[in-house]
């Protein structure tokens, strides 16, 4: 097939949510462009990037939406969640508060998104093990109780970022 004439079988919208500075935008940059920026700026409003992957011989275009963790920079909530079939609920393993807020993010997500949405709980910054404030067991238990997938990632070291997205996309499928 000619370049640029690729066939797309499915387009899946996936949303990223979680507190400010947990690494949502860098997880997206790692997945979409295999890039990482150490001095990443806070997101204002909404951004999205796409990447097409092949799953089960089908070409799946992932349209990943990213918004600000900080309330005052956030976009219109209902529009953000509309049509989403997957979600990444992100916290920072070195910031206990970002994990404690996950229940609230989940509530907002469940209040706005489709009931069949596939949700992955993501503990980011796994490269900072010496600063860990959230035991992996706490997150595993929470995920199990709430019926979520769970992985720890490092956008910096590119650990599990690919696996996290592919798991969600495969499960949607």
Q: Is 25 exposed, middle or buried (0-12, 13-18, 19+ CB in 10 A)?
A: buried
DSSP assignment letter at 159: B
Stretch that binds Mg ion, among 17-25, 78-86, 111-119, 140-148 (CB under 5 A): 17-25
Pick 18 or 60: Cβ nearer ligand GTP: 18
**Does 124 engage in binding with Mg ion (CB under 5 A)?**
no
CA 29 – CA 64 distance, rounded (Å): 10
Six token digits for residue 9: 């079988």
Q: Which helix (H) or strand (E) holds 33?
A: helix 24-33
List residues near ligand GTP by CB under 6 A: 20-26, 38, 40, 42-43, 68-70, 124-125, 127-128, 154-156
In angstroms, the CA 99 to CA 159 distance is 19
CB of 60 to ligand GTP, least distance (A): 24
Q: Does residue 108 contact residue 67 with C-beta atoms inside 8 Å?
A: no
Q: Which does 98 bind (CB under 5 to 8 A by kind): ligand GTP, Mg ion, none?
A: none
Strand-by-strand arrangement of the 84-92 sheet:
46-55, 58-67, 10-17, 84-92, 118-124, 149-152
User: Which CB atom, from 40 or from 59, has the smaller least distance to Mg ion?
Assistant: 40
Closest to Mg ion by CB, 43 or 126? 43
- Shortest Å, Cβ 55 to ligand GTP: 25
Cβ(18)–Cβ(97) under 8 Å? no
Stretch that binds Mg ion, among 4-12, 16-24, 56-64, 85-93 (CB under 5 A): 16-24
Give the shortest CB-59-to-ligand GTP separation in angstroms: 28
Q: Please, which of residues 21-80 interact with Mg ion by CB under 5 A?
A: 24-25, 43
| Minimum CB distance to Mg ion smaller for 13 or for 24 | 24
Residues that bind Mg ion (CB under 5 A): 24-25, 43
């Amino acid at each position: 097939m000619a370049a640029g004439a690729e066939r797309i079988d499915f387009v899946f919208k996936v949303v990223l949510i979680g507190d400010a500075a947990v690494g949502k935008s860098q997880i997206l940059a790692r997945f979409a462009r295999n890039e990482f920026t150490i001095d990443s700026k806070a997101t204002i409003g909404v951004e999205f990037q796409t990447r097409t992957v092949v799953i089960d011989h089908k070409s799946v275009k992932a349209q990943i939406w990213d918004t600000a963790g900080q309330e005052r920079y956030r976009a219109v909530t209902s529009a953000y969640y509309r049509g989403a079939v997957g979600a990444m609920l992100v916290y920072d393993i070195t910031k206990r508060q970002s994990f404690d807020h996950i229940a609230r993010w989940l509530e907002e997500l469940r209040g706005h998104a489709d009931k069949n949405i596939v949700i992955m709980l993501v503990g980011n910054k796994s490269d900072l093990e010496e600063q860990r404030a959230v035991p992996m067991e706490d997150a595993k238990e929470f995920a199990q109780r709430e019926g979520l997938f769970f992985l720890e990632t490092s956008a910096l070291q590119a650990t599990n970022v690919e696996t996290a997205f592919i798991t969600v996309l495969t499960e949607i499928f």
